[in-house]
A and B are shown apart, each in its own frame.
Chain A
Amino acid sequence: MISIGIIANPASGKDIRRLVSHATVIDNNEKINIVERIVLGAQALGVERVYMMPDSYNIGYRVEDKLNTCDELKCEINVINMFRFDGIEDTLKAAEFMENLNVGCIVVLGGDGTNRAVAKVTKNTPLISISTGTNNAYPVMMEGTIAGMAAAAVASNRFNNRLFVEKDKRIEIYKENELKDIALIDAVVSKDLFVGAKAIWDMNNIEKIFVSRSHPASIGFSSVVGCKKIINPNDDYGAYLDLNSNDTKIMAAVAAGIVIPISVSEPVILNFDDEYEYITKSRGTIALDGEREIQFSENQKYIFKISRNGPNHVNVKKILETAQINGFFTV
């Protein structure tokens, strides 16, 4: 049976960035619309079963109900039967479950944080990441129908994954030789004293930025590095730089609608084998993909490393090109 998974984070698109920047609100009804289109795109090209993460808004059941009502549902929607925590735990558990079921592809609706959670527990399953916000560097804005068609092509197992699945990098953060956490795009050392509302926006509080990739066309901290140096997803290295170092000033899109001058040092390349040792000078936090996650106190040692141990993401354009070349769309 050809199956895919869908993880739609009901909490994304509503955090404090709507207040401190000009980020867009994506409500859950819009997520239902997107999921509907993913399902319709996927079933049209052969997907027979869609596994969905359960959530407080019952996105899976609502999609099933809507598509049944208009007699358009041809595949089976299976909302995973698991205890719901209504937190990040649900994403971790659902992604792990889907990987164990060997679904052909997981479509993730959320922001960088949602994708980071999925990346923590999936090793093999290819991901298609759709951004449901305006402050994301990893997932991209994409039409749900197209994402569903691409997921179907991947899950069909008719094509060689090496043609369109790319292994991403990640930033690994170690404390006392133990992997403490990961980031997909950026890790930031901040003077913010607590995790609180998670998002991070005050550039004056930021000391150091680590990135696995950087480009001026992205948004957030990878944009800050990207305005000095471009690091592509396929480059086998990352970089770091210091903020507020009074070296040079650049203009960067640090958040939706916020393009401000920032004082930065020259980026330093961090190769895969390199370890950057950081001793904390005072209390603060480490933000991973834009969200404060790790709280630290004075004189603690953290190691930052870049590796190619990130998730497998689907290059949607390439899989659809491969599908076209091989007659996948021919009826």
Chain B
Amino acid sequence: MNITNEQVKNMYQTMLKIRKFETRAKDLFAEGKIPGFVHLYIGEEATATGACANLRDEDYITSTHRGHGHIIAKGGDLKNMMAELFGKETGYCKGKGGSMHIADATKGILGANGIVGAGHNIAAGAGLAIQYKKTDQVCVCFFGDASTNQSTFHESMNLASVWKLPVIFVCENNGYGISVSQARHQAITDVSVRASAYNMPGVTIDGNDIFAVYEAVGEAVSRARKGQGPTLVECKTYRWRGHFEGDMTVYRPNGELDAWLKKDPIPRIEKYMLENNIMSEAEIANENAAVDNMIKDAEKFAEESNVASLESALVDIYSDMVEEGRVR
């Protein structure tokens, strides 16, 4: 599987957007401008970016509580995202969902999710819908290592395999379920081996290598589009920040974060671009400045938007879909 220079540049820009959005969200949360919780994706940018680089607008993703990276990688709008984090009415959910519930049906983003393991079944459902409609869409399901201990993971993997659903299960194994290390919550080190229990291919890759992710998920997407069924791709990665902002990360052994900082995916793609004359130092600096401006614009948009009104509290909360169904 090869790649054009333009694709590499786009992936770099996406990674920068995620890194800078999250870094700014961290500061804004510390300043008290963002209510609720934020779970940041810093350090894991290559996984969402490499996976979503294989997708089209009409393809689906399901996300997690740590969802900003997935949404940006799938083409989510930075302004609407930041406004949602601020609880403003211009946000994706009109300010009522916050960080953990961002969704954009027009981009196939079926939603971040505050419940660990809740995305698996939604992804399998999306896969079933795709199969029913006989299109060649796919659904990428992002989730963490600890969520694979939940029944939802096993139920979804089982049905996806039995029915050959076009779902790519992308496990972001960052080594922790909240504050519990993988060694203490799982009797395995490689989540990918769980695929064999469901008779589907499972692979483990370096989740901080954008090209490894792009390639492995690309093969899985191609397989799914051809009706050959689901795949489990485990991406080994690491979140630099705590589980949530404010988590002191006392559970991390000394030196662990430092070791992962050396595997930062962004300098790795920069090195590749420089070595292969895809971008010069100056162009990289310009790209960084351009993305800085995008984040500033998103923040300004969020700051200047109105807080969701009290009167709108119940709007969009209840659906009349059942009633509509009866009428038909």
Residue of A whose beta carbon sits closest to that of B259: A85
Contact A14 B209 (CB under 8 A): no
B199-229, CB under 8 A of A: which get 1 and which 0?
0011111000101101110011001000000
B268-298, CB under 8 A of A: which get 1 and which 0?
0000100111000000000000000000000
Contact A297 B214 (CB under 8 A): no
Taken together as a complex, chains A and B put the C-alpha atoms of A27 and B188 apart, in Å, by 9
Contact A27 B276 (CB under 8 A): no
Range for the number of chain A residues in contact with chain B = 20 to 34
Contact A194 B202 (CB under 8 A): no
Q: Beyond A16-B215, A18-B203, is A297–B275 a contact (Cβ under 8 Å)? A: yes
Interface contacts (Cβ under 8 Å), in number, total 83
B window 187-201: CB within 8 A of A: 188-190, 192-193, 195-196, 201
Taken together as a complex, chains A and B put the C-alpha atoms of A288 and B57 apart, in Å, by 38
Give, as a whole number of angstroms, the nearest-CB distance from A323 to chain B. 36
* Across-interface contacts of B211 in A (CB, < 8 A): 194-197
Cβ of B135 within 8 Å of any chain A Cβ, yes or no, is: no
A52-76, CB under 8 A of B: which get 1 and which 0?
0000110000000000000000000
Residues of A within 8 A of B (CB): 10-11, 14-16, 18-20, 25, 27-29, 56-57, 85, 191-198, 202, 205, 283, 295, 297
Cβ of B310 within 8 Å of any chain A Cβ, yes or no, is: no
The contact of A197 among B196, B201, B202, B212, by CB within 8 Å, is B212
Cβ of B3 within 8 Å of any chain A Cβ, yes or no, is: yes
Taken together as a complex, chains A and B put the C-alpha atoms of A196 and B216 apart, in Å, by 9
Q: Beyond A193-B2, A295-B275, is A15–B203 a contact (Cβ under 8 Å)? A: yes
Give, as a whole number of angstroms, the nearest-CB distance from A106 to chain B. 23
Range for the number of chain B residues in contact with chain A = 20 to 34
Contact A193 B3 (CB under 8 A): yes
* Across-interface contacts of B275 in A (CB, < 8 A): 295, 297
The contact of A194 among B3, B192, B205, B223, by CB within 8 Å, is B3
Give, as a whole number of angstroms, the nearest-CB distance from A200 to chain B. 11
Contact B2 A14 (CB under 8 A): no
- Most chain B beta-carbon contacts within 10 A, residue among A11, A25, A192, A195: A25
Contact B196 A25 (CB under 8 A): yes
Contact B223 A19 (CB under 8 A): yes
* Across-interface contacts of B205 in A (CB, < 8 A): 15-16, 197
Give, as a whole number of angstroms, the nearest-CB distance from A193 to chain B. 5
Taken together as a complex, chains A and B put the C-alpha atoms of A11 and B193 apart, in Å, by 11
Cβ of B231 within 8 Å of any chain A Cβ, yes or no, is: yes
* Across-interface contacts of B216 in A (CB, < 8 A): 16, 19, 197
Give, as a whole number of angstroms, the nearest-CB distance from B51 to chain A. 13
Contact A297 B215 (CB under 8 A): no
Contact B204 A194 (CB under 8 A): no
